[in-house]
């Protein structure tokens, strides 16, 4: 049985490179369109598989060619697909604009991801009951995430609260850790966005999370656990080419090291090195390194 279960979305990324983001009413010319496997859930599952985890993915894709593309990518990373459903709906799509600085803007059309219902999650009760770590995000219905937590009472929940959404207090209390970037943290806290990761992490603990990871891109991350001061985890300095999926790679790698018994700070350090390699390559899942590529710091 798999020890890390990723419950979430699967999309095909439609990527176009542009020299600047258009303003209202503006048309810009871009590169040729490139299609690559993505989606926060599938990305995290592929990352966890490549990072050496024993991983299963619970989600939905369509019966179209895009679904075939995602199944091939997940399988090539060693992810167990026994809980993946093919449904009569188009596979989810993410439309991504990529600028020369490596930053991206994304619009998601959920498609088959809407079929990841609480009933579908409950049908995998046996799989979830044996999980040690459950990883979830918010590109599927929130009630399905809650159902996954209910069905996995013995598992550690790694919740990547993205895209930002209001979370029930009961779900926040299960997070160990809650993983967010600075804008997602500010949304949950109802405050102005800030790059003070330590303050954000401390405030999120006060909401009830068991532990927190606040990611800050090139500034690294802050990790915090109940009763302890936030700890800074530095980023690895690289020249980014494409940041698409880097945060998902971080989450997948983090989950694997937590499953292996690493401390939160140790796991975040490994995840930071994993993500640093990913941003030097194009694509989401295609950019992720295998475990033996993620060198330990000197």
Using one digit for the tens of pLDDT, what is the confidence trace for 19-44? Answer: 998 889 999 999 999 899 999 999 99
- Asked whether the predicted pLDDT for residue 135 surpasses 80, the reply is yes
In a domain, 25, yes or no: no
pLDDT at 272: 95
Enclosing H/E stretch for 38? strand 34-38
CA dihedral 3, 57, 108, 101 (to 10 degrees): 60
- CATH number for the domain including 208? 3.40.1190.20
Measured in residues, the chain has a length of 298
Cβ atoms 44, 160 nearer than 8 A: yes
Closest CA to 255 of 108, 43, 17: 43
Q: Which of 119-123, 155-159, 282-286 has the lowest mean pLDDT?
A: 282-286
Cβ neighbourhood burial of 161 (10 Å; 0-12, 13-18, 19+): buried
pLDDT band at 298 (very low <50, low <70, confident <90, very high): very low
Domain that holds residue 103: 4-20+32-288
| Per-residue model confidence as pLDDT tens digits over 48-83 | 999 999 999 999 999 999 999 999 999 999 999 999
By the 8 A CB rule, do 221 and 213 touch?
yes
Q: 297 in a domain, yes or no?
A: no
295 in a domain, yes or no? no
Q: Encode pLDDT of 175-224 as tens digits.
A: 999 999 999 999 999 998 888 999 999 999 999 999 999 999 889 999 99
Gap between the Cα atoms of 37 and 12, Å rounded: 5
pLDDT at 164: 93
Residue 61 lies in a domain: yes
By annotation, the residues acting in catalysis are: 248
Across the chain, what does the average pLDDT equal?
94
- Find all residues with CB under 8 Å of 126, minimum gap 6, and list them: none
Domain count, the chain: 1
Neighbours of 282 (CB within 10 A): 17
What tens digit of pLDDT does each residue of 216-271 get? 988 999 999 988 999 999 988 888 888 778 999 999 999 999 999 999 999 999 99
Residue 297 has pLDDT above 60, yes or no: no
Band of residue 10 on the pLDDT scale cut at 50, 70, 90: very high
Instruction: Name the band, by pLDDT with cuts 50, 70 and 90, for residue 106.
Output: confident
Dihedral sign, Cα of residue 20, residue 25, residue 30, residue 36: positive
Q: Looking at residue 296, what is its pLDDT?
A: 63
Task: Kindly state whether residue 105 falls inside one of the protein's structural domains.
Answer: yes
* Residue 294 counted as domain residue: no
d(C-alpha 19, C-alpha 295), whole Å: 33
Q: Which is it for the CA torsion 219, 159, 87, 108, positive or negative?
A: negative
Residue 298 lies in a domain: no
Residue 275 lies in a domain: yes
């Amino acid at each position: 049985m798999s020890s890390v279960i990723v419950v979430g979305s699967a999309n095909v990324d439609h990527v176009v490179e542009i020299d600047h983001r258009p303003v209202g009413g503006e048309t810009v010319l871009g590169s040729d369109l490139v299609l690559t496997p993505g989606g926060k859930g599938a990305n995290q599952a592929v990352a966890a598989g490549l990072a050496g985890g024993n991983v299963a993915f619970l989600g939905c894709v369509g019966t179209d060619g895009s679904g075939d593309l995602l199944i091939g990518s997940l399988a090539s990373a060693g992810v167990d697909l026994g809980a993946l459903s093919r449904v009569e709906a188009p596979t989810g799509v993410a439309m991504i604009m990529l600028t020369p600085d490596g930053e991206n803007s994304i619009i998601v059309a959920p498609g088959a991801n809407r079929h990841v219902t609480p009933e579908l999650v409950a049908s995998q009760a046996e799989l979830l009951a044996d999980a040690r770590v459950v990883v979830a995000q918010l590109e599927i219905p929130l009630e399905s995430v809650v159902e996954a937590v209910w069905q996995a009472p013995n598992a550690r929940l790694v919740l990547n609260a993205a895209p930002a959404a209001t979370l029930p207090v009961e779900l926040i209390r299960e997070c160990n850790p809650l993983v967010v970037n600075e804008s997602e943290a500010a949304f949950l806290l109802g405050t102005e966005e800030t790059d003070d990761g330590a303050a954000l992490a401390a405030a999120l603990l006060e909401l009830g999370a068991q532990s927190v990871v606040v990611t800050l891109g090139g500034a690294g991350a802050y990790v915090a656990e109940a009763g302890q001061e936030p700890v800074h985890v530095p980023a690895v300095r690289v020249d980014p080419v494409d940041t698409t999926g880097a945060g998902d790679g971080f989450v997948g790698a983090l989950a694997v090291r937590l499953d292996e018994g690493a401390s939160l700070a140790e796991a975040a350090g490994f995840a930071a090195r994993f993500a640093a390699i990913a941003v030097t390559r194009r694509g989401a899942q295609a950019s992720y390194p295998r475990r033996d590529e993620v060198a330990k710091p000197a």
